[in-house]
Structure 1
Amino acid sequence: ELGAQNTPKSWVMNITFIFLGIVCIVESLLNLNKFRWHQMILILFGVGLILSGLFKHMPIDHQINYSVREDELHSMASSLVGMSFTVFVFSSIFILNTKANRYVALSIGTLICLLSLGIFKLPHYAGLFQRLIFFVSFIWLIDFFVRENYDKLATKTLG
């Protein structure tokens, strides 16, 4: 509902999606040059976020007019966000520099998958699950880039 079509102040959430998408793309281009696969996946994640901000989902209140096509495009963009981030988290296991960091990535990836399943199994709580996914994802992603957990390794793990 925060970024839905024809909803007051939805621009705030949509600008946030676009901003976060741009930041992810820039971080990827600046910091993942040694890891092209990971860089590509994170760029896809950023593009998905930007598209999620440009194409808004339908409002919860079905009395409000909305574009079905725009909602479908938002859904596709959201799927790109979810899939690319999940692939990024699980594939980061191969570039992280300590066993502890790899276990954290495995745990985060598993949690994201479980929360995503929760969206479909308990649709009344979908908004809560989505917010938890975003919160956990961005905390992990910030930690990933701030601590440069990936920078010192690849030669040990990948050969």
Structure 2
Amino acid sequence: MKSKILYFILAYVLLIVVMFLLPPFSAGDYSLLRNTISQLGAQATPNAWVMNVTFAALGLSVMTAGWKFLKNYWLQRILLLVFGVSLVLVAFYRHSPIDISLDYSNREHQIHSIFSSVTGFSFTMFAFSMAFIFKHMYDRWVAMLVGVFSVLLTMLMYSIADFAGIWHRMVFIMSFGWLIYVFGSKRKKKL
């Protein structure tokens, strides 16, 4: 079990490094403030493979790290699988490039948008559902707050789009940080 959480932690560290250090090596007009993490892995974008490998590593490692932890909780396992698989598929079906005058597949972008939405929705449902299986009230409240902040930050991405890159990074840092806390902790779940 410890090696599974270790791989997940390594994927999280990779995420942090990539989402802050890849932008200068990405599209020339990429902005940390305005552009999302998905746009780092976009079609026709320099070094996009780095972000896409990171998405796939995160998706695979979160499923592996959480599977045993959720042994008796089939709903949470299903939500975790949907979350992880859709995150992996985000790596294969990529966002449109920042410069839409470049040649790209709109169909691939639309599929990316679907999987991106499924990733966010399934994570939010997963966070809320975890509030029902924790033994400690503190963990229940944190799970609910993570779900609420996921929704609020996503709404900010669309309502204050000039800072979509910041909101998106906050969602990823919070979500995966919380998952490491949950899957790596010794806290007991409600029986």
- Do these two structures clear the TM 0.5 threshold for a shared fold by scoring above it? yes
Question: Which amino acid is 1:132 matched to?
Answer: M
Question: Which amino acid is 2:142 matched to?
Answer: V
Percent identity of equivalent pairs: 39
Matches within 5 A, 1:10-159: 10-149=48-187, 152-155=188-191
Q: For residues 91 and 46 of structure 2, what CA distance do their matches in structure 1 show?
A: 15
Q: Deviations over 1:125-157 (max 9, x none)?
A: 2222111101110000110100043xx3322xx
Question: Which amino acid is 1:74 matched to?
Answer: H
Kindly indicate whether the alpha-carbon contact (under 8 Å) linking 2:67 and 2:77 is maintained by their aligned counterparts in 1.
yes
Contiguous gaps of at least 5 residues in structure 1? none
- CA distance 1:66–1:114, change in 2 (3 Å): same
Question: Which amino acid is 1:153 matched to?
Answer: K
Q: CA RMSD in A?
A: 1.2
TM-score normalised by the chain length of structure 1:
0.91
* Secondary structure class of the residue paired with 2:45: coil
Contiguous gaps of at least 5 residues in structure 2? 1-38
Which residue is equivalent to 2:29?
A: none
* Secondary structure class of the residue paired with 1:31: coil
Kindly indicate whether the alpha-carbon contact (under 8 Å) linking 1:3 and 1:11 is maintained by their aligned counterparts in 2.
yes
- CA distance 1:124–1:148, change in 2 (3 Å): same
* Secondary structure class of the residue paired with 2:41: coil
Q: Which has the higher contact order (CA 8 A, sep 6+)?
A: 2
TM-score normalised by the chain length of structure 2:
0.77
The runs of 4+ residues in structure 1 deviating greater than 3 Å are none
Superposed displacement of residue 29, structure 1: 2.6
Question: Which amino acid is 2:189 matched to?
Answer: L
- CA distance 1:148–1:84, change in 2 (3 Å): farther
Kindly indicate whether the alpha-carbon contact (under 8 Å) linking 2:41 and 2:94 is maintained by their aligned counterparts in 1.
yes
Q: For residues 37 and 145 of structure 1, what CA distance do their matches in structure 2 show?
A: 16
Superposed displacement of residue 61, structure 1: 1.4
- CA distance 1:154–1:57, change in 2 (3 Å): same
Q: For residues 72 and 135 of structure 1, what CA distance do their matches in structure 2 show?
A: 25
Q: Deviations over 1:11-47 (max 9, x none)?
A: 0000111111111222233321111110110000001
